[in-house]
Amino acid sequence: MHRPRSRALFTQLVLAAALLTGPLWAQSRDSFEVVSIKPNKTGAPGSETDTTPGRVSVINATPLSLLLRAFGVLRFQIIGAPDWALTERYDLVATVPGGRVLNDQDRQAFFEKMLAERWQLRYHRETRNLRVYSLVNDGSKMVQHAGPGEYGMKVEIAGPRVILRSTKGNMGRLVEILGGYVGNVVTNDTGLGGEYDFILEWVQDAGSDAPGPSLSTALREQIGLRLVSAEKPAPVVVIDRFERPSEN
């Protein structure tokens, strides 16, 4: 006589369990399994990033650079970071669930959650008027990627020359890289949403006697894009709380 009620109760319990386990599973997909964070006292000026299946390592990185990786923004778009975040350096080694290989965009969520858990990161977003550069399509000469191949957008430094080699590159990552060299925010207004193979080579130091084009000239002549100065509303990340990392 009471079986229908028992079955209904059982069904409710199963549904409740599904609702509980679903969000937890979704959350774990974008979280590192194990993270080791240690201060780096070598005094070396540069940092190294290595991404392999199931592993991400960032050596001798400033906390600010970790924030930039987490949000995919430029230095000018991070507001309120403490002074020590610009100078102290750390080694970070993390394992990725399922042996995944994370590209620049994939790992943003992983870094953000790690910073929230280990560095007590709290923030909010705003939009502010900033003097920016707009990257526009001036008759693209880039080749759209076809066939197999791993994603890579690597910058090589050869004296005064800078060489960017792109395989399956995207405009979102390109504007991030360009922003670091022009010293300002660069927005993607190209209307290009594919993956591209190209080589971009320029002389960064305007006062150098080395032969080669400036960045703006190289963009226009080599890949058919152009930088235009403009004042635009730009998203910024305002840091409300950020502390030195908890011990391993």
> How do residues 122-136 score in pLDDT, each as one tens digit?
999 999 988 889 999
Using CA atoms, how far apart are residues 73 and 71, in angstroms rounded to an integer? 5
Cβ burial, residue 229 (10 Å; 0-12/13-18/19+)? exposed
- Spell out the domain ranges in the chain: 35-126+235-241, 128-234
Predicted pLDDT of residue 189: 94
Predicted pLDDT of residue 28: 53
Contact 177, 72 (CB under 8 A): no
Q: Calculate what percentage of the chain has a pLDDT beyond 70.
A: 88
**DSSP string over 76-129:** GGEES--THHHH--EEEEEE-GGG----TTTHHHHHHHHHHHHS--EEEEEEEE
Q: From the CB of residue 23, how many other CB atoms can be counted at a distance below 10 Å? A: 9
> Sorting pLDDT into bands at 50, 70 and 90, what band is 103?
confident
**pTM listed for this prediction:** 0.59
Amino acid at 180: G
Each residue's pLDDT tens digit, 63-76: 999 999 999 887 88
Mean pLDDT (whole number) for 143-158: 88
Which residues are CB-contacts of 97 (< 8 A; sequence separation ≥ 6)? 28, 29, 31, 32, 33
Predicted pLDDT of residue 11: 40
